[in-house]
Structure 1
């Protein structure tokens, strides 16, 4: 998918809270919105080159969203609103082999006590619930999730297990918002409960997907599956 709004480079200064950051744009220190509740500590470091997306909304307090950053030569998209859009495009373009049989794609559908990102269905009445998680944490080509404790993410996994027990298809897709990734694993050091639930989900028949992206300053698209190490 293309990022159709104007984008600008800046230098990261600091992040006083989850949703705000200060950057240096053309010699001026400005406040921007950070559309990611994760920690991103290894990405958002002082002096890092970051990418800002212009948001011309008169009701906003800030003019820009901080949507990505360079970690060395690697550009990482950190916009938490992007993964569902990228996966929806991939589903419609039949890029995810195991899910190509589903021709109806619905967003934000409820099962049990959770609202999943996608409900997929086909002409013979089969239904599949898919949850999407954006991944921005990478060390030496190894990607992991989460980068902050996530009770909500754990709840989604347990609900996917219940969906599978109820006779529906169920899966979680980790969209790695960068390229050149060797493998993906749960981040047990950050959230051991999530890792345990992910392994339980796998052993219960829930599909686990991990895909990296081709990503640049003005585009991001799902590209290829990466090895999953549970």
Structure 2
């Protein structure tokens, strides 16, 4: 998907809280919004090059969203609103092999006590629930999730297991928001319980997907599946 708003470069200064950061734009300090509540501490480092999306809303406190950052030479998208848009585009273009048959794509649908990112249906009204997780953490070319303990993430997996038990299709897709990763695995050192329930879901028949993205300054798109190490 192409970004349809103005994207500019800046230098990262600091992040005083989860939602705000200070950057330098041509030598001028600017307060910006961070659309990602994760830590991103290995990405948002003082002096690193970042990308900002201009938001033309006079009611906003800040004029820009900080959407991506360079980690060495690798551009990593950190906008938490992007993964679902990228996956929706890929579903419509039939770029996810195991989900090609699903032609009815619905966003944000409730099942049990959770709201999944997608409810998919094929021509025979078979239902498939899909949850998407954006991955921004990488170490030695291995993408990992989560980068902080996530009770909500564990809950989603348990609900996917229940959906599968009730006869629906169910899957979780980890969208690697960067180029060049060689494999994906759960970040057990950060959230051991998340890894445990993810492996349980796999045993119960829930599909586990991991897809790399091609990330450019003006666009991001789903490209190829990655090896998954459970």
**TM-score tier (shorter):** over 0.9
> Counterpart in 1 of 2:214?
214
Question: Could you tell me which residue of structure 2 aligns to residue 145 of structure 1?
Answer: 145
Residue-by-residue CA offset, 1:107-140 (whole Å, 9 max, x unaligned): 0000000000000001112100000000000011
What corresponds to 2:167 in structure 1?
167
Look up the match of 1:40: 40
Partner of 2:119: 119
After TM superposition, list the pairs within 5 Å mapping 1:186-205 onto structure 2: 186-205=186-205
Superposition TM-score, scaled by structure 2 size: 0.99
Q: SS of 1:84's equivalent? A: helix
Shift of 1:201: 0.5
Tell me the equivalent position of 1:158: 158
Match of 1:97 in 2: 97
Encode CA deviations 1:148-205: one digit per residue, 9 max, x unaligned: 1110000000000000000000000000000111000000111111111100110110
Give the distance between the partners of 1:76 and 1:137, measured in 2 at CA: 9
Please report how far the alpha carbon of residue 46 of structure 1 lies from its aligned counterpart in structure 2 after TM superposition: 0.3
Q: In angstroms, what is the RMSD of aligned CA positions?
A: 0.5
Q: With the length of structure 1 as denominator, give the TM-score of the two structures.
A: 0.99
How far off its partner does 1:59 sit? 1.3
- List gaps (5 residues or longer) in structure 1: none
The alignment covers a number of residue pairs equal to 230
2:43 is paired with a residue of what secondary structure? coil
Matched position secondary structure for 1:161: helix
